[in-house]
Structures are given as structure tokens and as C-alpha cells.
């Protein structure tokens, strides 16, 4: 027997009694890290939150299949360069050496935070075929178009035909003029809100695979649609991630799933909120940032001492995952005191 639980669903914007698709089972997909540099403390909070959600469902008697991916291709910077490829260029390593280095680092940090590993940890590059098949399906459904070796999702047509665009993020298409991440090759798009699901590889691009549209690589949003479908089915119970992923990533995931399978990927959407530092958003350029290591060692002018990983974990769990959480030295000292009592 499983016990009842109520969840806030970002899609419907209300608390709902959780009803699993299969009694006793939960399928949960959480967007994992892009492994091109050291994991950010804000990401750690997100994954610690979903660790608690994973453990909570197990505690309530559910058998949980928890899928959390590794993004190792396709997540582009604003200038169009692949994040992994840029890391490789800067460190003079093969892209997969970058992936390995930062995947190891991510796993190390998750272990230090006592977060359980997911049931399946699929990688984007491990599912190129599945992503190509999904592009084919979206094209066959008339909801994408090919231009010069790239394939774009036709957002206005999808929105008009299905009425399914913008519900999660609350965005309307007219607002989306320049907000998508693949700013490169904007002129190839029929509409600025369209987004790439397959991108042609320039000659200097290292990570590339053959496809029906020539050599290229998948768009960033596509991997999560392909991998959640493969391991959890066309519609599964819970999709989670940080609140910054609502748009465009999750909105576009929903569009891709409808566009290929004709149905919504997940029944419940859960989003974790931001971690603040001294009341402000963490920002490297403003010096308002702290790494997990600095928090553990105390090697930062922003804190008076180091805190053990279990104090940091306890501190993270003192706020609900949907609330912002403000790291200050006083709050950390109080959390440390509480764990000692």
C-alpha cells in the first residue's frame, strides 16, 4: 500500500493529489547537468531537492524509476558554440574528456551531499538515433521543416493546431521574438519562436553524427523528450527540474512530445526554486558566488568558516524546494547549531 501525497503542479498551478499512472509505481524524469564545468551550488540544491522527492516516494511505498540525464552535447551558448566543445577548446581536451571529467566531478559532489544515484542516468550522445527518429516523426506530422541541413520546430503551426504551447511557462508566441537559445542561424527560421531540433554541423564542429539531413547534432531540448519517452513511456508521472528550465527547455519538450507522439510527456511538473547568496542571485561577474568546495572548506570571504556537507544538506532542506533559499553566514551557523542539537 502506498500513502497519499499532494504535489504542486507547475503546469496547472495548483496543489493536486498525486495519482500515479500505474498503482504503486512512479516514473520521474529530472533534467540533469550539462557537464562542461564544475557543478554550481544552485544545481546542487535542485538535485538535493529531487533526491528528497525520490526518497519521499520510496518512503510512501512506491517503486520509483528515477531518470536523470547527463547533457553531453547540443546545449549551446548564446554565440552558438556547444558548451562541451568550448570546454574542450579551453582545456585542450577531446570533448568526451571534458564530459568524463565533469561527470566524475558531478558524481563526487552528489555523493558528498548523500544524494542517491538515479535509477537510470542516460546521456544525450547515447541517444542520437532515438533523437533522429523523433525528428523524423515530428517532420512526418508536419510540425517541423528542414532548412540547409537543420530542422526547426514550427511553433506557430503547433500552437495553432494543438493549442498546447505556452501553458507551462505562461509565454505567448508574440513575446518569444529573441528568447530562444539557438540564436545562430536565426534567418533560417520561418518564425523567431521556432527552435532547432537538429542542427547542421559546421566544418569545424567536432561532435557530429550522420542523419537524413546531413551531418549534424541534436538540439538541446530534444534529448529529454527522446530519453524520457524511451525509459518512462510516452506519458509518465513526474517531470522535474530547476525553475530556470521552464522556458524554453520544458515548454519545448512538451511541444516535441506532442509533436511526435500526440500526447503530453508528464502529468505533474515540479520545479525547484533558486538559491540566493546574501539576498542576491549568485553571479560570477559580480563576485557574489560560492562553490560547494568553498562552502565546505570555508575558503571564501563571504563566510566565516567551513560547513560540513551534511550541514549544507540540512540547510537546503530547511526551506521548501519551491521557495528561494538565501545562503548567509548567520543562516548556515544556525543550521549547524540545529544539526548539533
Size of the site for a second copy (CB under 8 A): 23
Residues 6 or more apart whose Cβ sits within 8 Å of residue 320: none
223, 124 Cβ separation under 8 angstroms: yes
- Sole residue written with cell 509518465: 236
**DSSP 3-state helix, strand, coil percentages of the chain (rounded to 5)?**
40, 20, 40
- For a second copy, the binding residue among 89, 107, 171, 184 (CB under 8 A) is 107
Cell of 335: 543550521
Closer to a second copy by CB, 104 or 160: give it.
Answer: 104
Q: Which of 18, 23, 24 is nearest to 4 (CA)?
A: 18
Cα distance between residue 114 and residue 208, in whole Å:
36
Q: Is 140 an interacting residue with respect to a second copy (CB under 8 A)?
A: no
Indicate whether 205 belongs to the interface with a second copy (CB under 8 A): no
User: Residues 231-270 vs a second copy: string with x where CB under 8 A?
Assistant: x---------------------------------------
Q: Does 74 bind a second copy (CB under 8 A)?
A: no
Closest-CA residue to 124 (of 87, 163, 96):
96
24 binds a second copy (CB under 8 A): no
* Smallest gap from residue 129 Cβ to a second copy (A): 5
Give whole-number Cα distances, 173 to 131, 219, 331, in Å: 25, 20, 41
76-84, 118-126, 238-246, 291-299 -> range binding a second copy (CB under 8 A): 118-126
Select 49 or 69, whichever has its Cβ closest to a second copy.
69
**Sites of contact with a second copy (CB under 8 A):** 65, 94, 96-97, 99-100, 104, 107, 117-123, 125-126, 128-129, 133, 209-210, 231
Amino acid at each position: 500500500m502506498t500513502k497519499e501525497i499532494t504535489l504542486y503542479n507547475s503546469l496547472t498551478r495548483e496543489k493536486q493529489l498525486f495519482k500515479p499512472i500505474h498503482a504503486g509505481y512512479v516514473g520521474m524524469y529530472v533534467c540533469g547537468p550539462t557537464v562542461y564545468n564544475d557543478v554550481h551550488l544552485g544545481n546542487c540544491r535542485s538535485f538535493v531537492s529531487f533526491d528528497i522527492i525520490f526518497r519521499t516516494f520510496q518512503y510512501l511505498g512506491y517503486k520509483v524509476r528515477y531518470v536523470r540525464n547527463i547533457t553531453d552535447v547540443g546545449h549551446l551558448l548564446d554565440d552558438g558554440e556547444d558548451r562541451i566543445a568550448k570546454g574542450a577548446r579551453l582545456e585542450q581536451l577531446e570533448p568526451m574528456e571534458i564530459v568524463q571529467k565533469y561527470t566524475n566531478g558531478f558524481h563526487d559532489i552528489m555523493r558528498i551531499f548523500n544524494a542517491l544515484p538515479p535509477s537510470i542516468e542516460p546521456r544525450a550522445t547515447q541517444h542520437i538515433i532515438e533523437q533522429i527518429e523523433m525528428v523524423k516523426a515530428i517532420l512526418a506530422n508536419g510540425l517541423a521543416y528542414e532548412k540547409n541541413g537543420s530542422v526547426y520546430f514550427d511553433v506557430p503551426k503547433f500552437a495553432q493546431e494543438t493549442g498546447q504551447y505556452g501553458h507551462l511557462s505562461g509565454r505567448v508566441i508574440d513575446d518569444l521574438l529573441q528568447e530562444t537559445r539557438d540564436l545562430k542561424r536565426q534567418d533560417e527560421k520561418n518564425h523567431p519562436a521556432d527552435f532547432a531540433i537538429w542542427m547542421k554541423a559546421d566544418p569545424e564542429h567536432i561532435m557530429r553524427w550522420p542523419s537524413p539531413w546531413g551531418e549534424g547534432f541534436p538540439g538541446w531540448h530534444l534529448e529529454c523528450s527522446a530519453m524520457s519517452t524511451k525509459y518512462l513511456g510516452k506519458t509518465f508521472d513526474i517531470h522535474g527540474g530547476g525553475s530556470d528550465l521552464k522556458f524554453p527547455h520544458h515548454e519545448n519538450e512538451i511541444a516535441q512530445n506532442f509533436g511526435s507522439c500526440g500526447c503530453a510527456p508528464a502529468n505533474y511538473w515540479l520545479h525547484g526554486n533558486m538559491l540566493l547568496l546574501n539576498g542576491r542571485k549568485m553571479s560570477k561577474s559580480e563576485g557574489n558566488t560560492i562553490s560547494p568546495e568553498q562552502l565546505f572548506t570555508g575558503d571564501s570571504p563571504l563566510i566565516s568558516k567551513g560547513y560540513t556537507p551534511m550541514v549544507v544538506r540540512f540547510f537546503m532542506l530547511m526551506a521548501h524546494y519551491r521557495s528561494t533559499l538565501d545562503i548567509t553566514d548567520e543562516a548556515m551557523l544556525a543550521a549547524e547549531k540545529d544539526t548539533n542539537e
